[in-house]
Amino acid sequence: MDTDELHKVLDTEGDVAADYLEELLEIADLDGDIDIFTEGDRPHVSIVTDSDLLVGRDGAVLSALQELARLAVMTETGKRSRLMLDVAGFREKRRTELQALATEAIVEVRETGEPARLGAMNAFERKVVHDVVAASETALIEQVFGEASPAIKRYVDILANRGIDWGLIGPRERERLWERHVFNSVVLEPFVPANASVVDVGSGAGLPGIPLAIARPDVMVVLVESLLRRSVFLSEVVAELDLSDRVEVVRSRSEDFRGSFDVVVARAVAPLTRLGRSISFCLMVNYWR
């Protein structure tokens, strides 16, 4: 469906809902003007009134009216509608409140590193919060990765699909790949010297080595991984992201590998005391030639 056809469909849905609601107001002997507009891919109908009678407690009556309006549209057109209804500006006020609440929660999560829990919400309220979080996430991606944002998004997409299929990432991690894995991996970026050589020990799915390499195009990275399946995955990802000129995958146990690097990184590999013994190779010879 092209844009013109979509607008015609949405206009029709709005008109049908408006006619239904206008008749309902007349039957109930209630005053109110009706506005119709389109936002995105949804028709919106708003009843402009000073009364909150059709809003109800916590918007319960409004929600019921919205479902009735959608049913009227489906009866007329034969298709389900995603029409949104507002009465007395209730949803717009609630949207503003939720946007502020979501913004505060984002700040809290970034400061504490702990998840923030919000109260029960309906579909409209969840969508508002999701949009705020998505916008914040997008802004943070641009801030951290800049021109490399498409590459890191592609990497996350690979993790969310092939990474889970190959058993490198747990299915429950799909919804928190950005905050728990990618952003967590690049917090060390300010501590990596310019033009540094970096080795990622026990790289697994490429964390933290690949996000670091994407965020810092000046560094050279070696991903050391002992398991065949993981090293094959890493090689494919490095090639797909066009990082082969400065990211190398080496299949080896860390204690068997030899090299000298400016920075050694590892994530969820082993306790620090044991890890320290296994990465002594980093002090032995110069790996880069």
For the chain, domain boundaries? 3-88, 105-146, 150-282
Whether the Cβ atoms of residue 90 and residue 62 lie closer than 8 Å to each other: yes
- Secondary structure (3-state) at 158: helix
Tokens of 192: 């990596």
Class of domain 150-282: alpha beta
Looking at domain 3-88, its CATH superfamily turns out to be: K homology (KH) domain (3.30.300.20)
pLDDT tens-digit profile, the chain (289 residues)? 678 888 899 999 999 999 999 999 999 899 999 999 998 889 999 999 998 899 999 899 999 999 999 999 999 999 999 999 999 999 999 999 999 999 998 888 777 867 788 888 888 889 899 889 888 888 888 988 999 999 999 999 999 999 999 999 999 888 889 888 898 899 888 889 999 999 998 899 999 999 999 999 999 999 999 899 999 999 999 999 999 999 999 998 877 777 788 888 887 655 555 555 555 555 444 444 3
Taking phi over 0 as left and psi of -120 to 50 as alpha, with beta for the rest, 180 belongs to: alpha
70-108 in b/e form (b: 16+ CB < 10 A) is bebbeebeeeebebbbbbbbbbeebbeebeebbeebbee
Do 3-88 and 150-282 come out as alike in CATH topology? no
Measured CA to CA, the distance from residue 251 to residue 105 in angstroms comes to: 42
What is the pLDDT, as a whole number, of residue 256? Answer: 75
